[in-house]
Every structure is written in C-alpha cells, then in structure tokens.
Structure 1
Amino acid sequence: MTSEPLRVSVALCTFDGVDFLEPQLESILAQSSPPDEMVIADDGSTDGTLEIVDRFVERAPFPVTVVRDPGPGGVTANFERAMVATTGDVIVLSDQDDVWTSDRIAATRRRFAADDTLDLLFADADLIDAGGAPIGLRLFEALEISAHERAQLASGDAVPVFLRRNLATGAATAVRRRLVDRSVPFPHEWVHDEWLAMVAAITGSIAMDESVVVRYRQHGRNQIGMRTPGLRQKISRVLEPRGGRNHALAARGRALADRLADGSIVAPTDVVRAAEEKAVFESLRADMSPRRLRRVGTIAALALTGQYRRFASRGDADVLRDLLQPET
C-alpha cells in the first residue's frame, strides 16, 4: 500500500471532436476528486476543438497542458504524446467523446494506492448512443468476455488472454507511469490501449474492474467503437473477403515478438517464445491462399496443433472464418 498520496494525471486526446468534447470535459470538472493535472493532446483539429480546449484551460481548477501537433498522426501516436507529457504517478486515459462517472478518479486513486504492484486497471462502461441515451448494453457484454478469461485474469495469468485478443478499452483504462516508461515507443502497428495492456500483462500486473467508470459513446465517427454483433453481422464477418485485417494482425504480432526478442521489453523466456509463435501463427494466416481449397492444409495443421485455441481472438471459431472467407 502506498503511504504518500498518489498524483493522478488525465491524458485526453482530441481530433475534430467539437460535437462531443464539451460533455466529456464537464464530467472531468465534476469529479468528486479532481486530478492533479491534465494533458490534452490535439492531433491537428480544424473544427473548433481547440477553441473549446482553450476555454476549458481558463476554467479548470487544476493545471492543464495542451500539446498541439499539426497532425494527423493517428490515435496511437497522439496518446503516446499525451501520456509522456504527464507527471503523475497514475494516468487516467480519456477519449474525447464519452462521459465519466463522478467518482472515476477517486476510485482509480484508491485502487492503485491499495496495490503497489498494479500497473494497469481496465473497467466496464455503459454504452450510449450519439445523443447520450443508454443502449442497454455494457462494454464487457459487448466484448463477450468469457468465464475462462475472467478466471485467467483473476489468477494473474494475463499473457495468454491478451495474446489472443485485447480486453482493455482505453476509455475505461488507467495505468501507472512506470508502465508507460516500459512501453515507449508505442509501435504504430498497435492501438495504444492494446499495446499498454499487452506490456502490462507481460511485465507487471493487470486487473479487471467490473464497475462502470464511463458512459462510452457509440457514433459514426468513433475512432474506436464497440457494439455487440448480431447473428447477421457475425455471418457477414465470416464471409467478408480476406485482406487488411489478417495483415494487420501479422504486423502486430511481429512488432511484439521483435520488441521482446531484442530485449527492449524484458520478458521471461517462455513469453518471448509464445510471442514468436503468435507472430508466426498470424503470418501463416495472412499468407494463406486466396483460394479456399488451398488453405485447408495450413488451417488443418494450425488447428490440430491447438494454435487457433491459443492465439486466435475467437479460438477455434476462427477456423471456420479462415475456411469460409471468400477469395479476394
């Protein structure tokens, strides 16, 4: 348990966020326990976002630093800029278009103060529509987090979970500063929250909080959004042409494996080996023939050796996806 009070920073990123930014900023001002500082990183907005930010800076009862980039450089680079510029012990991440619960910072401060080993905390959220009305769905429901995944996280065995898929949504995530120091530079192949969660799982301690800390807005311009796919959407996903997704997964897997192999992120030998196996798995999937029949041998070999179960986001269900996706 930490004896000295933790300094809490907020890292908020903006890009053409004029439609939804003000409610988010108001929810930060309304916190029962204010942050010790806030860093707002803008990625080249041209729609009036910076005017809203400037008015907020004048009103805020805590220090606010604005990092302006001509951009756009993308969400990952923008969050890296914001987080590196903070000085707090704990950094609470903020998107530009959500609304926080009033005790988010207080609850975050308590949780990190109670556990010196905790590096990343990700929580649940209520999903709302563009107008702010509840959708009737929680974030963890939308992610369809399984009982097995919950059990693995509770036991401290987070690496296999995050090698398969990311569960930590940045809008509901807080991290300790030392995790950022271990994680930079963020690879461009990864989204910031996915990368931080992966590094936390490998090098430190990660925890899942079932409480709601944010109202997570879903709208057409979300940089990263979340909805639960219905049966029709799931079938459509299986039948969509192969292409960019597979190559993106392969690039991400290779970026992680290389960072572990060169020692820039220190990891146990078995984790380094697992990351390399994940990279090879995703590369083989990306390089499969566009013709279904020619994929069968590779898919069968990967399935029979348990690699879909170990590394694919939907486990063995992705066998069907790889078999059925049409030719490009």
Structure 2
Amino acid sequence: MTSSLSVALCTHNGAQFIGEQVRSICLQSLPPTEIVLSDDASTDGCVAIAEATLEACRSERPGLAIELRVIRNVPALRVTKNFEQAVRACSGELIALSDQDDVWHPERLARMAARFEQRPDLLLLHTDARLVDSALKDLGQSLFHALEVKPFELAWIHEGRAFDVFLRRNLVTGATTLFRRSLLEQALDFPKEWLHDEWLGIVASAIGRVDVLEDELIEYRQHESNQIGARRDTFLGKVRKALASRGTTHQDRARKAELLLERLRSLGDRVAPATIQKLSEKLEHQRFRAALPPSRLARCVPVLREAMTGRYEKFGRGTRGVVRDLFESV
C-alpha cells in the first residue's frame, strides 16, 4: 500500500514561477494528498496564483484530490524556519520538500515513494536535478555536476555511509528530497544556523538510512532571485575563494557541529557511539580551523601538521581545504 504523501511548499514573492510548480505537482502520476504552502510575507499575489492553479488542475483532472493548506507568515520566518513550519503542518507519512520555482518530472513522487515501500529502513531519499534558467532552458549540466559530486561519495551513500559523506560536505538539496515524517521526531526543532535540507540529511544519516537516486527528477531553476542555487565554480572562482577573507566561516561551521553534537547526544541509543566519535573529531577539526592565526606564514606549520592527520580529507575537501587555510586572508 502506498504511503500518504505531503508536499511542504515554501514561498516568498514567487508569483513568476509558482503556477508552473503547482501544476507539475498536480500532474504527478502519484499525486500527493496535500500541499502545505507556507508563505513568507509575500506581497506579489503568489498564494492566490497557487490556489487558482490548483483549482484549474482540479477542473482539468476530475477526481484529483489534493488538499491545499496555506500558512501565512508576517513577518517572514526565512528559509529554515519557514520549511520547519511547513513540515510540522504536514500529515503524510512521506514528505516532499518543494521550492516555489522548480518543475517536477511527472514520475518524481512515484519513483521516490516506491523506494520507501521497498525499504522500510529508508529515512530520506534525495536525487540529482537538471539545471535550467528562468525560462526552463537547459543549462547543460546537472546539480551533481555543479556540486562536483565524486563517484566515491555516491558509492558511500549507497553503501550506508551517508554520514561520512555529510561530515565532509552536504549533498542533500531540499528541492529533490523526500523523507519519512517519523524523522521529525528527532530532527525538530531545526537550528537556525543550519539550512533545513542539510540538517534533515545529516540527522537522518546519523540515526537511519539515507540513499540517493542519481536521476534528474526535477528542473532546478537558476535565476537572480534564487535564495539558494547551484553553480559549478570555474577555476578562477576557486582561486578567488582560496584568497578570500576567512570571515566567520570556520567559527560558524564549528558552531553548527556543536549544535549537531548536542542533538545527537540527546538522542541516546538512537545514535551509535562511533557516530558520536566521528562528529567529535569533526568538531575538533573545525575548532582548529577557526583558531588559525591571521598571519599566513604562522599558519603553515599547524596546517601541515593537521593535514598529516588526514582530517582535511575526512571532514572536508582535502587539498582544497589545506590551500584555503594557507592562503585565505583575514
């Protein structure tokens, strides 16, 4: 029996694209039972467009039984807390996250829901996506290509080692994600320091099974109004990042690791001791990076010593992290 499906759709002044997204949800071969639309103080009428689009779809497809529930936020909650509010209000056993400006392929929900039916241990599933411009023109690359996802990272996720991957970097994009509602028992509340999708992904990987479909099941729009987008860095872009100001990046990452460690420790036996140990080492590494001296010359010896431990590779992008720590400005 297919589990009930909810869509958590978050909007903010998305009138330009919301109609196409809602229509693509309605045209799913396995439609959801409900859409929970959490709107963040929009002023452009996007909620009315979503309501009208769903009504038109009902007229075109007699028997389409998708309930639309709208939550309006004034003032705006911003991305993480808006998605938290949306998923809290969802009643389905499976919850799909949805941005306001993408277009889903018709089989997206059916293909993903089938995996959950086949695998009772699966907590969260995410996929690749096709990058398109504001007019849905193909940009010639996928999300995973833009993120420079490596074959070993996908292999580790398939093997049940998603936590090891996510300790290095997040690969879960909310717009491609479906998860069991039961995950919220451990994942709520979402810390404001984390993005909702990376938080759900790493918590799920710490307490259960996460997997990935390497298929492009949505058109993922890239445009000027994206709050979060995907672009593959050019070589020059990588050089600029390596020489950019350190700012509070490493302090922020250390704080995120602290918050995750607190949450996982609070879950007791749900989290394996080895998982806690790995995260503790990750936190130690982030604190090391945050405490590096302003002088590039003074960083050389400690950075090279840290590199010898293997933790740059274990908890980051390896040589790329070493180079950034050696050359970033203050």
Give TM class, smaller chain: over 0.9
Partner of 1:321: 324
Alignment gaps of 5+ in structure 2? 59-63
Partner of 2:262: 258
| Partner SS for 1:257 | helix
Segment drifting more, 133-142 vs 42-51: 42-51
Partner of 1:24: 21
Task: Say if 1:272 and 1:87 are closer, same or farther in 2 by CA, change over 3 A.
Answer: same
Quote how far apart the aligned CAs of 1:57 are.
5.2
Task: Say if 1:215 and 1:285 are closer, same or farther in 2 by CA, change over 3 A.
Answer: same
Aligned-pair Cα RMSD in Å:
1.6
Q: Distance in 1 between matches of 2:276 and 2:36?
A: 34
Q: Tell me, yes or no, if the aligned pair for 1:183 and 1:265 is still in contact at 8 Å.
A: no
Residue 37 of structure 2 is aligned to residue 40 of structure 1: yes
Q: Tell me, yes or no, if the aligned pair for 1:259 and 1:265 is still in contact at 8 Å.
A: no
| Partner SS for 2:225 | coil
Partner of 1:97: 101
Residue 5 of structure 2 is aligned to residue 8 of structure 1: yes
| Partner SS for 2:325 | helix
Q: Tell me, yes or no, if the aligned pair for 2:23 and 2:54 is still in contact at 8 Å.
A: no
| Partner SS for 1:119 | strand
Q: Distance in 1 between matches of 2:118 and 2:267?
A: 31
Alignment gaps of 5+ in structure 1? none
Residue 308 of structure 2 is aligned to residue 304 of structure 1: yes
Segment drifting more, 245-254 vs 76-85: 245-254
**Aligned amino acid, residue 209 of structure 1:** L
| Partner SS for 1:249 | helix
Displaced runs of 4+ in structure 1, greater than 3 A? 56-61, 262-266
Q: Distance in 2 between matches of 1:262 and 1:200?
A: 15
Q: Distance in 1 between matches of 2:96 and 2:117?
A: 14
Residue 156 of structure 2 is aligned to residue 152 of structure 1: yes
Q: Distance in 2 between matches of 1:57 and 1:287?
A: 52
Q: Distance in 1 between matches of 2:294 and 2:223?
A: 33
Q: Distance in 2 between matches of 1:57 and 1:131?
A: 21
Quote how far apart the aligned CAs of 1:188 are.
1.0
Segment drifting more, 202-211 vs 292-301: 292-301
Aligned sequence identity (%)? 40
TM-score (norm 1): 0.94
Partner of 1:113: 117
| Partner SS for 1:122 | strand
Q: Distance in 1 between matches of 2:267 and 2:219?
A: 39
Which one of 129, 133, 137 corresponds to residue 137 of structure 2?
133
Q: Distance in 2 between matches of 1:152 and 1:281?
A: 22
Q: Distance in 2 between matches of 1:250 and 1:170?
A: 23
Which one of 178, 185, 197 corresponds to residue 182 of structure 2?
178
C-alpha deviations, 1:253-289, integer Å up to 9, x for none?
1111121233378311111121122112112212222
Q: Distance in 2 between matches of 1:235 and 1:64?
A: 47
**Aligned amino acid, residue 229 of structure 2:** G
Quote how far apart the aligned CAs of 1:103 are.
1.2
Q: Distance in 1 between matches of 2:252 and 2:82?
A: 20
TM-score (norm 2): 0.94
Q: Tell me, yes or no, if the aligned pair for 1:120 and 1:205 is still in contact at 8 Å.
A: yes
Quote how far apart the aligned CAs of 1:58 are.
4.0
**Aligned amino acid, residue 39 of structure 1:** V
Partner of 2:246: 242
Partner of 1:283: 287
**Aligned amino acid, residue 33 of structure 2:** D
Q: Tell me, yes or no, if the aligned pair for 1:43 and 1:74 is still in contact at 8 Å.
A: yes
Task: Say if 1:287 and 1:47 are closer, same or farther in 2 by CA, change over 3 A.
Answer: farther
Segment drifting more, 248-257 vs 184-193: 248-257
Residue 211 of structure 2 is aligned to residue 207 of structure 1: yes
| Partner SS for 1:52 | helix
Q: Distance in 1 between matches of 2:294 and 2:75?
A: 36
Residue 87 of structure 2 is aligned to residue 83 of structure 1: yes
Q: Distance in 1 between matches of 2:192 and 2:221?
A: 25
